[in-house]
Structure 1
Amino acid sequence: MRSLQIAGYGLIAILVASSAAQARDERDKPRVRPIMLSEHPNDGTHSIYVKGNVLTTLRFEQLVDASKTRMIGWEGRLEPLAVVRNKVILEPIHDLNRDEGIPLVVTLADGTEIPFLVKPPWSKRDEGWSPILDQQVDVFNDRESYASMHAALMDALKQNDTLAEANERYRKEENSVDHAYATLLVNGQRKKTPFRRRFVYRPKNEDMDMVVEVFEGPGKAAALVTLQNTYHGGPWEFDGAYLSRDFTHSTARPFALRMDRATIVPGETGRIAVVVDRSAFLTDDGQLTDLALQIFRGDGLLQVVVKLEHTIVQK
């Protein structure tokens, strides 16, 4: 799966996102989170998620030794490290690339070295790549301290709220018309939907045979993508995709998705169905606009960009 493909018409629709508003909120919301240091060697390096021109502060329980705190390969990516008593301040000059990771070692006054990996604001979760941005990270090495336990409690409560919101969102999705249509499409029951086929084409790819069927319907667009893995080096894994007006997450748009498998082994075929409501094509002033879809594969690299024209949405 080596090449980047760009298709001019239709849609390969694979998105793990609920709504543009939610995506913007999660991406832009300042993030304060605790890190509990572990004595287990496999848990030795924690990730710090940063964004260009946004300060990220690491706060520790004791003073930081500035002379022994260092980054590797930061030149041209971040401003020089700033250490103020028990705080380390990071300031990226610009957004890091999706697959970048800059090693950081913070040395405390007692000689303890704590390794981190400075990364762009994305984290791979079970449902795909999700936006994360750290504004402040509180680092605790004493799990029994009041501050550490309080931070752990607050973090657990926040995670519980997030899970509750996700469960409610999934419940609504299961009952939505668009998700029902997507389920019918992926199961080969198009005749039970209101969609009419408008385009069929095969995007070129050296490791994947793809057939894209694009449909139009009353106030909606849909697509059925059939993928056959012809890469003998290993399985193809779906990682994530994002639908937007201008290739940025600030204009991300929602749609419904169903797939029969997220991992396709060599020689195997998988199908993905997507339904997009007409409202996703509307700008703030009520005008219809074209959309662009970016699809990412399992290693986080961009696999394909597809243009979705507003003309496939019936009035």
Structure 2
Amino acid sequence: MKYLLIFLLTFLAVSAQSQEIPNGDFENWFQNPPFGEEPVDWSEGYIRTYNSISPGFLDSTIIKTGDAYLGNFAMEIRSKIIELFGQKDTIVPLVVMNVKNGDLDLSDIPKIAIDNKLESLSGFIKQDIVNVDSNHTSVLILVYSGDSIIGVGLKEFNEDIINYTKFNVPILYFDTPAADSVSVMIQGGNDDYKVPGNVMLLDNLKFDYGSTTPGDSSTTGLKEVLSSEIKVYPNPFRNELNIKIEFTEPQEFKIYSLAGETVRKGKLVAPMNKIDLTDLPPNIYFLTIENQSIRLIKTE
């Protein structure tokens, strides 16, 4: 009885640290003519082609594969070329939960209810991507309190991964209200380098929880605020962002939209850099510099 009690307590303690994502093992699929089989609880969020002429063409961008890490199936997503009215375009698929054909509307992104401090998303990936020097796939997580985004996790995969490898996407929290829901978006390429031929396989996705305070960089692996060597102002901003750095070596930066798209990237050199963001619509963005990240707010 003593050992049984110890086993049960250990089992409960371990179980409390993770939460299954609906069909995160991609074992359940359904027929959706004329697009073939699609994973239950997952589908195409949008199709953005090079000339933006053909939203809704989903054929063979999401594939049921028996090449699984565990179980019988995994999800495979591909970037590919389609032809419409003699015009060829490259599809870079974005896979989200419970969103069917049509453009992605952030207000309609389906969310999974959570009742604890979400620390990260983990899973297994293998992939073959075209031109690893300029290309990547990505997993984006948005954490909500009500309708407000209070945390984000983003991981890019910019190399070929021959065998299934475990990955972890830590969450960076910006605000302290208790999280109540989360959404997950997976992109099979990057919009600023649209190429066909990417093959990305995912399996056994799970949410991981901790007992730490949101924003604690010791658990997320990211810094919630930038180091003293980096100054970003003004924030909120209207058109232009100033980034001052004190590093001797150039630093790579990227700015992401809420949909996980790279809207700016480049190199920062000491001491001062001015980034023109006039063309971006007012919204929330995320600036990353090496392993540090900060939320940006663009106003009218």
Q: Give the alignment's TM-score, normalised by structure 1.
A: 0.29
Higher relative contact order (CA 8 A, sep 6+): 1
Q: Give the alignment's TM-score, normalised by structure 2.
A: 0.30
Which structure shows the bigger proportion of residues in strand conformation?
Answer: 2
